[in-house]
Amino acid sequence: MAKAFTLTADWLLSQLDKIGASSFCVGLSGGLDSVVLLHMCKCLFLRGQLKSLRAVHINHGLSENAEQWAAHCQSLGEQWNIPVSVFGLQVKSSGQGLEDAARAARYEIFGNELQDNECLLLAHHAQDQAETLLYRLFRGAGVEGLAAMPVSRSVGLGTLFRPLLQVSRQAIEQYAVQHELVWVDDESNDLVDFDRNYLRHNVLPVVLQRWPKAISSLTKTVKHCTAAAEILHDVAIQDMQQIVQEPPFLTGMNGFPIFLPDFLQLSEARQRNVLRHWLQELNWPKPSTEHLAQITQQLSARSDASPQVCWANVMVRRYKQWLFALPSQLSHIPVVAQVLNITTSDQYNLSGNGLLMLSSINNNEPRIQVGSASQSLHIIYREQWSAEKKFAVANRSGKKTLKRWLQEFNVVPWLRDRVPLIVNEDGHLVAAAGFWVVAEFAAQKDEQGWKIEWQPCLR
């Protein structure tokens, strides 16, 4: 018969050694699990086996007892000589549900609070992991979601670590009784209106009555899903190296788009997989299964169309042979003309439209004559320019309207109204920053001139 597991501070030390950190911060709710975790850390700290130790308590303000819980955590800190920081927050669901909103707000504080190379310890245990798996399973999560809570991940400047994920709640309770610990009980944990509480009180007890080792089995499933998710991640990285490329034109996008001819060579499953990881790398909200299906379906639209799919604050759209991820709502550009004084190499902030970068050069790149640049220049935008006016551009033939030149220079549709146009005091167009110089104001061969580059900012 296998020996029953006993939770001890020495066992915890064996887990913390895997992280390689010496400074620790415990997420302290005041409940059973986090109090046990903090007590074990206190024992290790007193033995000199942890370099530094502190705790953070988040007061969500959702219970009439919230202030008492915060006071209990501070009392524990004073009793055990451990610094405890208390942070208050106001939870707003914003459509994703109170539980998810509280969790997001909590982790935002953790991320801001963690110091460089500090390790945040959370007391989630095996039953919490089983509940998370079932919760995500019933919501139709994929492999990555069914990997449930990771044992560790990066948070802010530090690392999050859950050392008790494979420890039973019974073992935690036994430790608390043995050491005569005092904790608080959150009355909301008994409210089955919350999905996780419903699983805890109404689903898991029935499952365990039929399958006593179900939590252990579900933990194994999490491990299998974690391994599968890692494989999918590796495949996505390989695919992204082939299909995510820098286009030969300015995009304003944070990161590079997907080159569709290579993307369409992948199977549908790999297309969806790489789309998820590409958006994740760009820090956009996760797409649903339906959004991914819409994206892949709309890629079959005619080549001159620009189909787009939007959710949350992101828009995925095609332009020619490329797929872009952009803000669904672009910031407004002030229509007030800015004065541009070109005297030295410098940068100009365009008030929400990125930066202009000025440099003096004498190569064959398009550049403004020194004489033209010394005049009083202004920055305007497309809506302030006459659509009918035609002009010639350096190193290009013919005279065309602004619309035609924007198309010829492959200016993407979402930047056309945002391109900074440089005009002189007589109202003549001198240059379109980052794209061209009007022929009559361009420096000649080997002549010194001013190059104006534009770095757009879309979010």
CA angle (237 as vertex; 139, 17 as ends), nearest 5? 80
> Which residues lie closer than 8 Å to 362 by C-beta, 6 or more apart?
443, 446, 447, 448, 449
User: Among residues 234, 422, 454, which one has the least CA distance to residue 342?
Assistant: 422
- Find out whether 41 and 119 touch, Cβ atoms under 8 Å: no
Q: How is the chain split among helix, strand and coil, in percent rounded to 5?
A: 40, 20, 40
**DSSP H helical segments within 356-436, as ranges?**
370-373, 402-408
Amino acid 26: pLDDT: 97
Out of 173-177, 207-211, 354-358, which region has the weakest mean confidence (pLDDT)?
354-358
Sign of torsion, CA 234 236 239 245? Answer: negative
Amino acid 89: pLDDT: 79
**Does 280 have pLDDT greater than 50?**
yes
**Banded pLDDT at 20 (limits 50, 70, 90):** confident
Q: What is the mean pLDDT of residues 256-274?
A: 95
Letter string b/e over residues 371-389, b meaning 16 or more CB atoms within 10 A of that residue's CB: ebbeeebbbbbbeebeeee
Selected residue with higher pLDDT from 416 and 99? 416
Cα gap 41→270, rounded to integer Å: 44
Amino acid 373: pLDDT: 66
Cα gap 77→83, rounded to integer Å: 6
Amino acid 335: pLDDT: 59
Q: What is the mean pLDDT of residues 151-170?
A: 94
| Token code pair at residue 403 | 């619309």
Q: What pLDDT, in 10s, does the model give residues 227-245?
A: 999 999 999 999 999 999 9
Out of 146-160, 161-175, 310-324, 444-458, which region has the weakest mean confidence (pLDDT)?
444-458
Amino acid 37: pLDDT: 98
Q: What is the mean pLDDT of residues 22-29?
A: 94
DSSP 382: G
CATH number of 247-327: 1.20.59.20
pLDDT above 90 as % of the chain: 64
CA dihedral of residues 357, 361, 364, 366 (deg, nearest 10): 30
Q: What is the mean pLDDT of residues 444-457?
A: 88
34 appears as a binding residue in the annotation: yes
Amino acid 97: pLDDT: 66
Selected residue with higher pLDDT from 376 and 184? 184
| Token code pair at residue 290 | 């339906």
Amino acid 345: pLDDT: 63
Letter string b/e over residues 125-146, b meaning 16 or more CB atoms within 10 A of that residue's CB: bbbbbbbbbbbbeeeebbbbbb
- Number of alpha carbons in the 13 Å side-chain half-sphere of residue 199: 16
3-state secondary structure of 156: coil
Q: What is the mean pLDDT of residues 89-112?
A: 75
Q: What pLDDT, in 10s, does the model give residues 292-343?
A: 999 988 887 666 667 789 998 899 999 889 999 999 887 676 656 678 877 7
Cα gap 43→51, rounded to integer Å: 12
Amino acid 1: pLDDT: 42
Q: What is the mean pLDDT of residues 139-149?
A: 92
- Find out whether 358 and 346 touch, Cβ atoms under 8 Å: yes
CATH topology of domain 9-228: Rossmann fold (3.40.50)
Task: Name the helix (H) or strand (E) containing 58.
Answer: strand 52-59
User: Among residues 246, 230, 236, 320, which one has the least CA distance to residue 271?
Assistant: 236
Out of 201-210, 365-374, 377-386, 406-415, which region has the weakest mean confidence (pLDDT)?
365-374
**Banded pLDDT at 102 (limits 50, 70, 90):** confident
Q: Quote the strand ranges of 285-346, DSSP E.
A: 308-311, 314-319, 322-327, 338-340
95 appears as a binding residue in the annotation: no
Amino acid 459: pLDDT: 66
**Does 2 have pLDDT greater than 60?**
no
3-state secondary structure of 318: strand
Out of 51-55, 86-90, 422-426, which region has the weakest mean confidence (pLDDT)?
86-90
How many other CB atoms are found less than 10 A from the CB of residue 432? 24
33 appears as a binding residue in the annotation: yes
Q: Across the beta sheet with 23-27, what order do the strands follow? A: 84-88, 52-59, 23-27, 119-121, 158-161, 152-155
3-state secondary structure of 4: coil
**Does 134 have pLDDT greater than 90?**
yes
371 appears as a binding residue in the annotation: no
Cα gap 186→36, rounded to integer Å: 16
Radius of gyration (C-alpha) of the chain in whole angstroms: 29
Cα gap 311→328, rounded to integer Å: 8
| Token code pair at residue 253 | 């996008």
- Burial of residue 300 (CB within 10 Å: 0-12, 13-18, 19+) is exposed
31 appears as a binding residue in the annotation: yes
Cα gap 259→251, rounded to integer Å: 13
Cα gap 387→404, rounded to integer Å: 10
Q: What is the mean pLDDT of residues 369-384?
A: 83
Q: What pLDDT, in 10s, does the model give residues 413-422?
A: 999 999 999 9
352 appears as a binding residue in the annotation: no
Question: In the chain, what are the domain boundaries?
Answer: 9-228, 247-327, 338-455
